[in-house]
Amino acid sequence: MTVGMAQLLLGGTVMVGACVQWLTGMGFALVAVPALVLLLGPAQGVALANCAAGAISAVGLVGRWRRVRLTAMVPLVVASACAVPAGTWVAAQLPHPVLPIAMGLLVTLAVLLVMRGLRVSALTSTKGAVAAGATGGFMNASAGLGGPPLSLYAMNAGWTVHEFVPNAQFYGIVVNAFSIAANGVPRLGSTGWTTAVVAMAVGAVTGKVLAERVPESRARQLVLLLALAGGLSTLAKGLGVL
């Protein structure tokens, strides 16, 4: 693959991820991580996903921060922060062929659970919030995928979309900040960073425009289908190098 083609794919991946995150409140990692792992490798792909998702969440929360439910979010974010080091350690110990397989399986399983609308009554309690937060922190640090556990928790707690989006953005800021502290920032070079930042900006603007026109149910279905395709492709890539 030529350098120009790699930059084009990088920019397109980040742009699509940024766009869907604006549409649904989260989704950058689900859509972008599989492609980023294939383009940059597991460690650098996850690190870029942490940086991009955290930045988009921070921008998206401006003007919405008053809607954050701190009493519900505190156990989630504290548990996620505590689990981040374990996720980083596990990712560092896994050999390269195993990590893409693990990431592909995590993405695929997480998407299928969300698509099926898994209901677990225990998730509505404080212990459930701690479990969801810890799982999200571990998955975010190891695979850049901290969103699905929060989605499952919110679904079982009966949150509306109006409630979910700002809380998901708050969660995204915190868990990605800890993940960046543990994993570091990706080594993209000046060209790579320029491509990523421009792509994030274009994706955010596009997502903001589409959010006013695309029904949320259809946007969510598209995100999940793209994520499922990405998870399966990453799994296939990992199996191919064994």
Name the DSSP class of 159. -
Quote the CA–CA distance of 142 and 98 in Å, as a whole number.
12
Q: Is 237 exposed, middle or buried (0-12, 13-18, 19+ CB in 10 A)?
A: middle
DSSP element (H, E) containing 223: helix 216-240
**Contact assessment for residue 219 and residue 210, using Cβ atoms and an 8 Å cutoff:** yes
DSSP element (H, E) containing 5: helix 3-24
- Which ranges of the chain have pLDDT less than 70? 1, 96, 100, 117-123, 161, 216, 219-220, 222-224, 226-227, 230-231, 234, 237, 240-242
Q: What is the pLDDT of residue 219?
A: 67
Model confidence, pTM: 0.76
Q: What is the pLDDT of residue 122?
A: 63
Q: What is the pLDDT of residue 227?
A: 64
| Spans of all domains in the chain | 3-240
Q: What is the pLDDT of residue 123?
A: 66
* 6-57: pLDDT as tens digits: 888 999 999 998 888 877 777 787 778 878 888 888 788 888 988 988 898 8
What are 199's two structure tokens?
A: 């792509």
Q: What is the pLDDT of residue 163?
A: 77
